[in-house]
């Protein structure tokens, strides 16, 4: 799509994957899309419903091992997401959702399980639980209006470690916290119009420029969303401090 028109935001499996306020990502994406002059259609797709192949942005959040396993089983049988991405949609995948988008992930009961192969990343079981605040400098190849994205902040709580393959790039270089795993030095990954991260918070509330980046892919306008970001910037300053 291009220019002011409807933006369709699909939130995948809120009944399984929505920890630490990840619903906020859908709220922020819709809010900033409206500020850009778009009408917004938000579609919440439960795990017993098919995923529409017609969307502009797909969002998926985090969850525990069993919900993640169930989500993987259903997503592997439903090609709606893959068809939507092939048609040019963008996606934001958080924590368990980030792992699901990769080639494989680890489940405590069943061991290594196949992911969706949408991102060139591989996730395994770590030896240290990563919990707490994260700060990362965003990959310089990502920018809004010609300006690099500001530092990302968020909250992590996971046991997984994720390796980024050559077809993808780390989303950010971590200066505090763990991100993709203890010692990895990075958080998340991006490839094409897909962004993955371990950061909750929710991540778009704490980093609205990331929402602007994704919306720029959707509507073809790379400029920042025209809004007063006083309150988001106060939250960012508080977290960074």
Annotated catalytic residues are: 95, 200
Strand partners, 113: 105
Classify strands 172-176 and 186-187 as parallel, antiparallel or unpaired.
antiparallel
**51 neighbors 82 (Cβ within 8 angstroms):** no
**144 neighbors 165 (Cβ within 8 angstroms):** no
**153 neighbors 135 (Cβ within 8 angstroms):** yes
**26 neighbors 94 (Cβ within 8 angstroms):** no
Strand partners, 122: 104, 163
CA angle 62, 63, 67 (to 5 degrees): 130
Place of tokens 């419903």: 49
**DSSP assignment, residue 169?**
B
**DSSP assignment, residue 170?**
-
């Amino acid at each position: 799509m291009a220019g002011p028109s409807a933006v369709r935001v699909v939130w995948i499996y809120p009944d399984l994957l929505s920890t630490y306020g990840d619903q906020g990502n859908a709220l922020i994406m819709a809010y900033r899309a409206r500020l850009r002059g778009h009408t917004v259609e938000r579609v919440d797709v439960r795990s017993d419903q098919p995923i529409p192949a017609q969307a502009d942005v797909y969002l998926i959040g985090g969850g525990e091992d069993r919900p993640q396993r169930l989500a993987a089983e259903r997503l592997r049988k439903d090609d709606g997401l893959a068809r939507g991405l092939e048609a040019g949609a963008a996606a934001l995948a958080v924590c368990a959702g980030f792992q699901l988008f990769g080639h494989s992930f680890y489940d405590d009961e069943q061991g290594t399980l196949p992911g969706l192969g949408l991102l060139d990343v591989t996730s395994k079981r770590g030896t240290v639980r990563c919990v707490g605040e994260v700060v990362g400098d965003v990959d310089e190849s990502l920018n809004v209006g010609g300006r690099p994205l500001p530092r990302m902040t968020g909250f992590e709580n996971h046991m997984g470690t994720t390796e980024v393959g050559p077809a993808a790039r780390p989303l950010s270089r971590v200066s505090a916290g763990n991100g993709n795993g203890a010692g990895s030095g990075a958080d998340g990954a991006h490839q094409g119009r897909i962004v993955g991260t371990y950061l909750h918070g929710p991540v778009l509330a704490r980093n609205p420029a990331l929402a602007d980046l994704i919306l720029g892919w959707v509507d073809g306008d790379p400029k920042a969303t025209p809004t007063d970001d006083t309150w988001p910037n106060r939250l960012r300053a508080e977290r960074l401090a």
